[in-house]
Amino acid sequence: MHPNPIYRPEGRARDLAFASARGFGTLTVAAGDAAPMISHIPFLTVQGGTRVEAHIVRSNPIARALAGGSRAARLAVIGPDGFISPDWYGIEDQVPTWNYVAVHLTGRLSLAPADGLRDHLSRLSEHFETMLAPKPIWRLSKMTADALARLERMILPVVLEVEAIDSTWKLTQNKSEAARLGAADGLERGSPGAEVAALAAMMRDPPAGA
């Protein structure tokens, strides 16, 4: 997380809403002296954001590690990001930077009961399928029993008990409003990054500082 508190406003509800809406993140698990284990996963937040439900491939090293018990873990949920040119501020002696939004959910990761896997898959797919309306919702019932059984043999449900939530909303809050809006205008005209139009919209209405 960025050390400048102006980019780290208080707002657990907003952070959770952002993470839940994204529904996809990078799961990292401590691995002793070795590099952390990493997996990219879709997920659901439940129980008021105190728990994250997901699944991983059975052959994933994280799954093998969890066989010995819960592990410290962090789920990084990354939002829009983009390069910011100093020319857009309309003020002198500035430098380039990169704006972005990120929320980290930290806690203990463990295997979840296997008998809850089908329910998890149903709720996870329905969560994203509803975003495709008016397309009819795809459901597990469309799969044959054999295909569903094969899928369930390949994956394991996991749960992250969330102990801390941290976020960075780096949206040019350290500049004047005119400079921030100028940067948003420039971003909308085109810039390296992902979802730059969404990032520009966030820059026009950033969350209040801490």
pLDDT, tens digit, for every residue of 88-107?
999 999 999 999 999 999 99
Q: Domain tally for the chain? A: 1
Answer yes or no: is 180 within a domain. yes
Question: Between these two residues, 103 and 3, which has the higher pLDDT value?
Answer: 103
Local confidence band at 48 (pLDDT 50, 70, 90 cut-offs): confident
Residue 190 lies in a domain: yes
Query: What does pLDDT average to over the chain?
Result: 93
* Confidence at residue 5, expressed as pLDDT on a 0 to 100 scale: 87
Has residue 121 been placed in a domain? no
The pTM for the full model equals: 0.91
Q: What's the CATH code of the domain at 55?
A: 2.30.110.10
In a domain, 58, yes or no: yes
Residue 89 lies in a domain: yes
Could you give the CA distance from residue 23 to residue 123 in angstroms, rounded to a whole number?
Answer: 12
pLDDT value for 209: 58
pLDDT at 193: 85
34 belongs to a structural domain: yes
CA–CA distances in Å: residue 120 to residues 92, 133, 138: 53, 21, 15
Which residue is associated with the tokens 């972005």?
100
Residue 210 has pLDDT above 50, yes or no: no
Residue ranges making up the domain that contains 179 = 5-116+155-203
pLDDT, one tens digit per residue, over 82-91 is 999 999 999 9
pLDDT over 80 at 27, yes or no: yes
**Residue 125: pLDDT above 90?**
yes
| Higher-scoring residue by pLDDT: 192, 171 | 171
Q: Tell me which amino acid residue 145 is.
A: A
Q: Is residue 124 part of a domain?
A: no
